[in-house]
Amino acid sequence: METRDKLSAVSYTLFFNFLGKLAISLVNNLGAATIFFSKAFLMIFRSKQFPEIIHQVYNIGARSSNIVMLVGLFTGMVLGLQLHYTLVKFGSEGMLGSAISLSLIRELGPVLTAIMITARAGSSMAAEIGILRISEQIDALYTMRIDPVRYLVSPKIAASIISFPLLTAFFDLIGILGGYLTGVVLLGANAGTYFYRIQSSVDIVDIRGGFIKSFVFAIIVSTICCYQGYFTHMRSDSSGAKSVGLSTTSAVVHSCVMILIADYVVTSFLM
Amino acid sequence: MENTLIEFRDVTKCFGDHTVLDRINLKIYENQITTIMGKSGTGKSVLLKLIIGLLSPNAGTILFLGKPINKMKKRQWDRYRNQVSYLFQNNALFDSMTVFDNIALPLRQTTSMNRKKIEKKVMARIEQTELSEAANKYPSELSGGMQKRVALARALVTDPKIVLFDEPTTGQDPIRKNVILSTIAHYRKKFGFTAVLVSHDIPDVFFISDRIILLWERKVAFQGPYEESTKLDHPMAKEFLHSLEGFQDELTGLLSKQAFRARYAMTLNQRQTEETFTAVLFTVEFDLLTETLGPIAAAVVIKALGEYIHTNLGAIGGFSVRHHTGQILAILPYTDFREAQQLVKNLGKGLQKEALSNIQALTQAKIGDGACFQIYVYAGLIETSSNEDIDKIIEKAGATQKIIATHQCDAKGGGI
């Protein structure tokens, strides 16, 4: 009996030890990421940043637009099918336009756009900065008196803040057209009602809420991805090329999880 | 007078529980080339990173012109950093940028120079480092030696006062090693910077270094001129320096300095004190050779000269050593002075006919029309006895040097 108690005490200690370490590491990383973001954000407004920001808007924004619009089209089409099926059951297929547009503008647009950009551009940000780190190119920037955060991170954060809302708007628009294709063209809902319902139900508050979300997601995704790449060399679980791979994976996974957590938090504030 | 530029006072650097540098004290003087040597993991690169501020010491102070760098205000720190440049062991070039953009980067990002001025300055450095054909290429399209030159051009484009070279010759063949080190020495004179380099290329590094700093077991075991380091009575001198030097000079195939001294001592022991023998000091000088055929040409000519002397004088029991970049000392223990004079005369003729007359083939370089360069080979002979010190022999032989072979102003490769 006494041995069992001792074992139980040891396992409790180990569990709380693990939990404590995890909590400390989480708080440390959150603090470091916040400082990292603050420094990078302030440096956006330094001189000589504009050309690099434009270059990054092209990389993060323009080059992600195709995939974002494709996902937007099919999301809208699926919503058209599913919501038409559901609304017909209640005899309210006239609400199809409202349901699709509100779902997209308030929720699906910002979240799915952010996840798509994370997959396409976020992973590339982490890998690019990670490779620069392990090949001493970040140290080389420092020796040339070029602040690596200003040169590498700030333009990416600025470009994300510009690109996320724009791509979200594209996603919403193409999604609504996708819903029109399935709901109206394929399943025969009334086209006039579809657009009238969108116009009457979508308020500026909904659009603003969607943009606030995409702005928050832009900060989260760009900070996490750049942070993971920038501190690749500090990883305790690996080194070299492997650490770049793991940093890229961590960047994508952490970004996606944080997008969903932040989505809930922001939604609860906006409601 | 030697002016102290950087000084380490009781500097300690640890990584976790591992102490890399333990209360080290050293000085780096202005306008000199200081070479840091030591076994792997003794903190050579760490020392360079401490100077440039990539790492901070755990204890102690680093002084720049007498001011502690950790107490500098932001403006002073920026001014200090502006004067220091770093050439990484692996070059650390930006793969996604062309050679031109790599070199222009520090100017574009840290100065207010306009585009035209930047272009002019970058192109000047590109031409000086003979990279004109590679200006629009990416680093991955270049050879290791060219990448090193790009890194060198980038390090020098901001006109730094101090350049830190972290193993600049790693992975290069003997000729290119010699070229890189000669280029550093040449640029140091031309641009007037202070160079601190980590290198193990004996003897070439000694030819260009004003001072040597030897790190041994977390401490500075020696700092001073190379000549003093050879007299050092320290386990490191036997274990490390001599093992690095090996038996042969990598570039010329001649004996290493240690092997030469050992052979000299052994030969003298077998002889009577009053017996005389001949010593010959060869010196090769160039004019416009590097400008016409590129920096490799000089190293190739020295290599050819070394091999020629080794083959011809070795056959009659002579042995030789490279005393300086372009200077070879040969000892002919079984040849009297008159015989040696005739031998050197014939050697000069042969050298001019065979080795120097075919420079184009030697360097594998294309010589343009109107290209003009000169090569002079001098030889100084003395009769000496077995109680003579090598340094004295070199001094005396140097004073008697005359031209024995030349190659002048012929674009097609023929000697005149």
Helix/strand/coil (H/E/C) assignment for every residue in chain A: CHHHHHHHHHHHHHHHHHHHHHHHHHHHHHHHHHHHHHHHHHHCCCCCCHHHHHHHHHHHHHHHHHHHHHHHHHHHHHHHHHHHHHHHHCCCHHHHHHHHHHHHHHHHHHHHHHHHHHHHHHHHHHHHHHHHHHCCHHHHHHHCCCCHHHHHHHHHHHHHHHHHHHHHHHHHHHHHHHHHHHHHHHCCCCHHHHHHHHHHHCCHHHHHHHHHHHHHHHHHHHHHHHHHHHCHHHCCCCCHHHHHHHHHHHHHHHHHHHHHHHHHHHHHHHC
Closest chain B residue to the Cα of A49, Cα to Cα: B109
If one counts every other C-beta atom within 10 angstroms of the C-beta of residue B288, the result is: 13
Distance CA A184, CA A188 (A): 5
Tokens of residue B247, six digits: 């038996």
- From the centroid of its chain, how far is CA B294? 17
Yes or no, beta carbons of A140 and B158 under 8 Å apart: no
Contact status, residue B137 vs residue B126, Cβ threshold 8 Å: no
Nearest C-alpha neighbor of A144 from the set B124, B224, B106, B341: B106
**In this structure, are residues A247 and A232 in contact, taking their beta carbons and an 8 Å threshold?**
yes
Question: Most A CBs within 10 Å: which of B103, B109, B122, as the mutation test of the A interface?
Answer: B109
Q: Could you give the C-alpha distances from B87 to A79, B159, B210, B236, in angstroms and in order?
A: 58, 14, 19, 27
Which residues partner with B18 through β-bridges?
B15
**Touching check for B163 and chain A: CB below 8 Å?**
no
Quick check: B410 pLDDT over 60?
no
SS3 B303: helix
Q: How far is B209 from chain A, CA to nearest CA, in Å?
A: 24
B92·A139 Cβ contact <8 A? yes
For the CA atoms of A101, A105, A111, A113, the dihedral, rounded to the nearest 10 degrees, stands at 90
B21-25, B272-276, B351-355: which is most confident = B21-25
User: Among B92, B108, B110, whose Cβ lies nearest the Cβ of A145?
Assistant: B110
C-beta atoms of A146 and B105 within 8 A? yes
Q: What percent of chain A stands above pLDDT 90?
A: 79
Is the distance from CB of B352 to CB of B301 less than 8 angstroms?
Answer: no
Whole-angstrom distance, CA of residue A100 vs CA of residue A78: 10
Of A139, A143, A146, the CB nearest to B85: A143
Confirm or reject contact between A142 and chain B (CB < 8 A): yes
The span from the CA of B204 to the CA of B251, in Å, is: 9
User: Is the CB of B88 less than 8 angstroms away from the CB of A145?
Assistant: no
Within 8 A by CB and 6+ apart from B76, the residues are B67
B13 phi, psi to nearest 5 deg: -130, 125
Nearest CA-CA distance, residue A236 and chain B, Å? 14
**Interatomic CA distance for residues A167 and A160, integer angstroms:** 10
Residue with tokens 């000669």: B182
Enclosing domain of residue A53:
2-270
> Which residue from A139, A142, A144 is facing B105, i.e. has the nearest CB?
A144
The distance between the two most distant Cα atoms of chain A, rounded to a whole number of Å, is 77
Provide the chain A residues 109-138 that lie in CB contact (below 8 A) with chain B. Answer: 135-137
> How far is Cα B204 from Cα B198, in angstroms, rounded to an integer?
13
Look at the block and give the residue holding tokens 């080979």: B377
- Average pLDDT for A215-241: 91
d(C-alpha B58, C-alpha A133), whole Å: 23
Q: Test A137 with B52 for CB contact under 8 angstroms.
A: no
Task: Locate the chain A residue with the closest alpha carbon to B159.
Answer: A144
Kindly provide the residue ranges of all beta strands, DSSP E only, lying in B39-177, ordered along the sequence.
Answer: 59-64, 67-68, 84-87, 162-166
Confidence of residue B301 (pLDDT cuts 50, 70, 90): confident
Neighbours of B18 (CB within 10 A): 9
Cβ of B88 within 8 Å of Cβ of A136? The answer is yes
Q: Please state which of the ranges B125-129, B261-265, B355-359, B381-385 shows the lowest mean pLDDT.
A: B355-359
Please give the pLDDT value at position B230: 67
Residue B363 — pLDDT band, cuts 50, 70, 90?
low
Domains and CATH numbers, chain B: 4-245 (3.40.50.300), 257-408 (3.30.70.270)
Tokens representing residue A227 in the block: 């942070």
Number of domains in chain A: 1
**CB-based contact (8 Å) between B106 and chain A?**
yes
Percent of chain B with pLDDT over 90: 20
| A48 in reach of chain B (CB within 8 A) | yes
Question: A236 CB near a chain B CB, below 8 Å?
Answer: no
Rounded alpha-carbon distances, angstroms, from residue B282 to A44, B308, B407 = 62, 12, 16
Mean pLDDT of the A1-22 span: 83
The tokens for A209 are 């809420």
Q: What is the mean pLDDT of chain A?
A: 92
B88 in reach of chain A (CB within 8 A): yes
B81 touches chain A (CB under 8 A): yes
Residue of A nearest to B78 (CA): A145
HSE at residue A204, side-chain half, CA atoms within 13 A, is 0
Average pLDDT over chain B reads: 81
pLDDT tens per residue, range A74-133: 999 999 999 999 998 888 888 999 999 999 999 999 999 999 999 999 999 999 999 999
Strand order in the sheet with B276-287: B319-324, B327-332, B276-287, B374-385, B402-408
For residue A145, the chain B residues in CB contact (below 8 A) are 78, 81-82, 106, 109-110
Q: How far is A221 from chain B (nearest CA, A)?
A: 24
> Other C-beta atoms within 10 Å of A75: how many?
23
Whose tokens are 């992600």? That residue is: A64
Residues of A in Cβ contact (< 8 Å) with B85: 143-144
- Would the CB atoms of A144 and B158 count as touching at under 8 Å? yes
Which band of pLDDT confidence, cut at 50, 70 and 90, is reported for residue B416?
Answer: very low
**Residue B54: which of A48, A139, A151 has the nearest Cβ?**
A139
Interface of B with A in 53-72 (CB under 8 A): 53-54
What is the SS3 assignment for B80?
A: helix
Please answer whether residues B105 and A144 qualify as being in contact, where contact means their C-beta atoms are separated by less than 8 angstroms. Answer: yes
- Cis ω before B203 (30° cut-off from 0): yes
* Token code pair at residue B273: 């004190």
Q: Within 13 Å and on the Cβ side, how many CA atoms surround B7? A: 9
Summarised one tens digit per residue, pLDDT across range B230-256 is: 667 776 666 666 666 666 666 676 777
Is B336 strand, coil or helix? coil
Number of A to B CB contacts under 8 A, please give it. 43
Kindly state the DSSP code that residue B366 receives in the 8-state scheme: P
For residue range B309-346, list pLDDT tens digits in order: 878 877 777 888 887 777 888 888 877 888 888 888 88
Of the candidates A160, A170, A153, A161, which has an alpha carbon nearest to the alpha carbon of residue A112?
A170
Q: A142 contacts in B (CB within 8 Å)?
A: 53-54
pLDDT of residue A229: 95
Q: Contact A145/B81, CB-based, under 8 Å?
A: yes
Q: Tokens 């386990």, residue? A: B235
> B151 to chain A: nearest residue by CA?
A140
Q: What is the pLDDT of residues B31-87, one digit of tens each?
A: 889 999 888 888 889 999 999 999 999 999 999 998 999 889 988 988 898 899 999
pLDDT at A179 over 90: yes
Q: Quick one: CA dihedral B144, B146, B150, B155, positive or negative?
A: positive
